[in-house]
Amino acid sequence: MAVTRDALWLAMIALAVLSTFGLRGLSRRRTQQRMVSERSLSALLDDVGAYVYIKDLDLRYRYVNRKVVEWFGRPVDSILGLRDQDFFDSATAEHLRSTDERVLQQGQRITVEEQNRQQAGQLPRTFLSVKQPLRDQQGRIHGLCGISTDITDLKLSEQKIRHLAVHDSLTGLPNRTLLLDRIHQAFQHFGRSRSDGALLFIDLDHFKLLNDTMGHAKGDLLLKQVAARLGRCLRQDDTLARLGGDEFVLLAENLGRDFADVTVGVKVLAERLRHELCAEPMELDGEQYFASASIGVALMSYVSGGTSASPADELLKRADMAMYEAKAAGRNQVKCFDPSMQRALHRRAELEFLIQEGLRLGQFQLAYQPVVDENGGVLGAEALARWPHPEKGAIAPGEFIAAAETSGQILALGAWILRAACAQLAAWGRSVDTRELTLSVNISARQVHQYDFVEQVAEVLRQSGADPRRLELELTESVFAHDFEIVSEKMRSLQRIGVRFSLDDFGTGYSSLTYLKRLPFHQIKIDQSFVRDLLHDENDAAIIRAVLILGESLGLEVVAEGVETAAHFQALRHLGGRRFQGYLFGRPGRAEEVRRTAVPVP
Ligand code: C2E
Ligand code: MG
Ligand code: MG
């Protein structure tokens, strides 16, 4: 392909020698010595790997080396004396003629890139050509010599590299770099036309879970199919990009000038994308998978005119925020950016930082709330995370657990909680007064879905010396949204070493009987919302009764949560309740208080 720089220089020198001594007056001044040097120079030029030629003032070929002969595919005799228009298509010939004339007129060497095509319709080949005027002994220009290197392959790989640098290799879509560039251009266009544009941030739901459980190959397949489906919804002015992972972004331009119209239009577009993904299952190598995505939308008109240094980054950030809102609202939804999201996001980011620090500095604690029988006798306790922050005061578990769940910090926090709880359980096991107590620990879905969840629990139990039969893990129904079989297998593994399971917040989710029948639960906890209104709401009373009967028939313990008053307690007992938890018997507090908190039964 390309010849080295040395070879080019050698050829240049050889050409200069040839043009000074040879070719034109070859026969007259021929000597033995010159014959040798001309032959070897000619041979040298044939081997040089570049296209070497000499043209006269008429731009007729006077010398061509072997490469040129091969490329033109004619014997050398039928090349010499002809011009470029005899070999190339008209556009190429015209271009060659004009550069050649420049060399002859200006009398200077030039370097040009040429796209040469022998026939119209052919793919052109790209050459890097050095052209130099030839002078006789009086210094008059009598022609030119050229050396052209075929750089077609080089150009192609350069193009490929450039393409790869701004495209995602899996889906072929533009990547973040190209997207940011397009957004930048879109803002410039918007500045002139005032026709609004929007950014749609599309994040697949539960993609990590799919990747972890079905493998990366299937994950890749899904991403490709998602790219294809989203691609179906594009208009001419739209750019679809993949930012990495399961994040796709659609830049839609030229949506119009009327704010209300644009807002409606972009929502319709976002809903169409959302629907396109979830309407039909994806086919992943023979397996069906129902995908969905959370979509956040931000309009360009919101960002421009602001003080942001980089409107492209700002727009992306806002669409991302809106996407997070869509996730938080339960996934598979579309949300549009509004300024309150920014405040919430700041708070979230701050909280994530504080959690990190809290874990490092050991700021988290566990509080223990007793669970009692129908006589108020303490059976055990539920461990509840507490965070008395030294500067911010107590931060509610509802807040920090949710933040830790979205950020993934729940894995570290949950591991700490489990260790602390098991240490307490082991301590109770060493005293006669407390060794019968059970301890319930809340476990988040993300913890259970870790591939080594079973080993982690077993290891904590082993290290702490706690009795597995006294440990209860409280799960909520969200755990079973995916990978039912895998979760079920994990539960059975832990059940075999004695650990028991409790279904928390029963009544607030799907409350599917399937879970209860097919999974090894030994306990249900009736959500406190039913207990709260038990005395006034007949429906709640009916539900509680039904759950108690259900528990009885399936052989499950039923705990009523949120028992605050003696009236609740009595009503629950009347309905058949036998296990209770609530402020009436004790607020979450220190472990030492657990066995002393039982209230006399009213
Ligand atoms: P949960 O597991 O249903 O916990 C029961 C919640 O009810 C606790 O709130 C408890 O303090 C509260 N409670 C107990 N008795 C009464 C009562 O008589 N009246 C009223 N109104 N409330 C009562 P808390 O501690 O704020 O926890 C809220 C939720 O946060 C928990 O609900 C649980 O889902 C989560 N959580 C708490 N600690 C942990 C933990 O260590 N790990 C995980 N993954 N989640 C936790
Ligand atoms: Mg609980
Ligand atoms: Mg609960």
- pLDDT of 121-154, one tens digit each? 888 999 999 999 999 889 899 999 999 999 999 8
Q: Decide if 343 is inside a domain.
A: no
For residues 470 and 377, membership in a common domain is answered with yes
* pLDDT at residue 4, as a whole number: 47
Q: Which ligand is nearest to the CA of 402?
A: 1
Helix then strand then coil, in percent of the chain rounded to 5, is 50, 20, 30
Span from the CA of 384 to the centroid of ligand 1 (angstroms): 6
Residue of the CA atom closest to atom 17 of ligand 1: 562
CA–centroid distance, 475 to ligand 3, in Å, is: 9
Q: What is the pLDDT of residue 2?
A: 39
Question: Which residues have C-beta under 5 Å from ligand 3, the single-atom ion?
Answer: 504-505
Based on the fold, state whether residues 300 and 353 are members of the same structural domain.
no
Residue 349 has φ and ψ, to the nearest 5°, of: -65, -40
> pLDDT digit string (tens) for 371-392?
999 999 999 999 999 999 999 9
532 and 393 in a common domain: yes
- Pocket around ligand 1: residues whose beta carbon is below 6 Å from it? 369, 384-385, 396-398, 401, 414, 417, 442-444, 474, 504-505, 528, 561-564, 581-583, 588
Q: Are 91 and 138 in contact (CB under 8 A)?
A: no
Q: Are 218 and 284 in contact (CB under 8 A)?
A: yes
Same domain for 424 and 527?
A: yes
Q: Is residue 161 part of a domain?
A: no
Q: Which of the listed residues 424, 453, 561, 585 should we mutate to test ligand 1's pocket, taking the one with most ligand atoms within 8 A of CB?
A: 561
| Cα 448 to ligand 3 centroid, rounded to whole Å | 17
**Nearest residue (CA) to ligand 1, atom 13:** 562
CATH number of the structural domain spanning residue 185: 3.30.70.270
How far does residue 572's CA lie from ligand 3's centre (Å)? 17
| pLDDT confidence of residue 567 | 95
Strand ranges in 374-446 using DSSP code E only, listed in sequence order? 378-389, 393-395, 438-442
* Sign for the pseudo-dihedral over CA of 133, 136, 140, 143: negative
> Regarding beta strands 365-373 and 393-395, do their DSSP bridges make them parallel or antiparallel, or are they unpaired?
unpaired
Is 266 found in the same domain as 146? Answer: no
Q: How far apart are CA 479 and CA 441, in angstroms?
A: 15
- 205 in Cβ contact with 292 (< 8 Å): yes
Residue 602 lies in a domain: no
Residue 363: Cβ within 10 Å count: 16
Residues 388 and 509 in one domain: yes
**In this structure, is residue 457 part of a structural domain?**
yes
The protein residue whose alpha carbon is closest to atom 8 in ligand 1 is: 384
Tell me the CA–centroid distance for residue 385 and ligand 3, in Å.
Answer: 13
- Whether residues 393 and 326 fall in one domain: no
Please report the atom of ligand 1 found closest to the CA of residue 581.
15
The answer to whether position 69 is within a domain reads yes
Q: What is the DSSP string of 451-500?
A: TTHHHHHHHHHHHHT--GGGEEEEE-GGGGGS-HHHHHHHHHHHHHTT-E
Low-confidence residues of the chain, pLDDT below 70?
1-39, 304-309, 509-512, 596-602
User: How far is C-alpha 271 from the geometric centre of its chain's CA atoms?
Assistant: 21
Exposure string over 442-453, b if 16+ CB within 10 A, otherwise e: bbbbbbbbeeeb
Residue 453 lies in a domain: yes
Residue identifier of the C-alpha nearest atom 12 of ligand 1: 562
Predicted local distance difference test score (pLDDT) of residue 89: 93
Ligand 1 closest atom vs CA 474: 2
372 and 462 fall within a common domain: yes
Mark which of 115, 133, 156 sits at the end of a domain.
156
CATH of residue 492 = 3.20.20.450
Best mutation site among 364, 406, 442 for ligand 1 pocket (most ligand atoms within 8 Å of CB): 442
In this structure, which residue's CA is closest to atom 15 in ligand 1?
Answer: 582
CA distance 375 to 380: 14
Where among 337, 361, 381 does a domain terminate?
Answer: 337
Q: What is the CATH number of the domain that holds 32?
A: 3.30.450.20
Last residue of one domain, picked from the residues 309, 337, 365:
337
pLDDT value at position 30? Answer: 47
CA 301 to the chain's CA centroid: 26
The Cα 239–Cα 251 span in angstroms is 5
Task: Say if residue 279 is in the same domain as residue 403.
Answer: no
Within a domain: 601? no
- How far is Cα 407 from Cα 352, in angstroms, rounded to an integer? 7
* 394 C-alpha to ligand 2 centroid (Å): 19
Residue 219 domain flag: yes
Q: Domain range for residue 486?
A: 348-596
Most informative mutation of 384, 478, 584 for ligand 1 (most atoms within 8 A of CB): 384
Q: Which helix (H) or strand (E) holds 373?
A: strand 365-373
Residue 362 Cα to ligand 1 midpoint, Å, equals 21
**Ligand 1 atom closest to Cα of 396?**
26
Clarify whether residues 77 and 212 are in a common domain. Answer: no
State in Å: Cα 208 to ligand 2 middle. Answer: 26
Same domain as 384, residue 285: no
Q: Which helix H or strand E contains 256, and what residues bound it?
A: strand 247-256
Q: Per the structure, how many domains does the chain have?
A: 3
Q: Which atom of ligand 1 is nearest to the CA of 421?
A: 41
- Whether residues 304 and 444 share a domain: the answer is no
Tokens 């039964």 sit on residue:
601
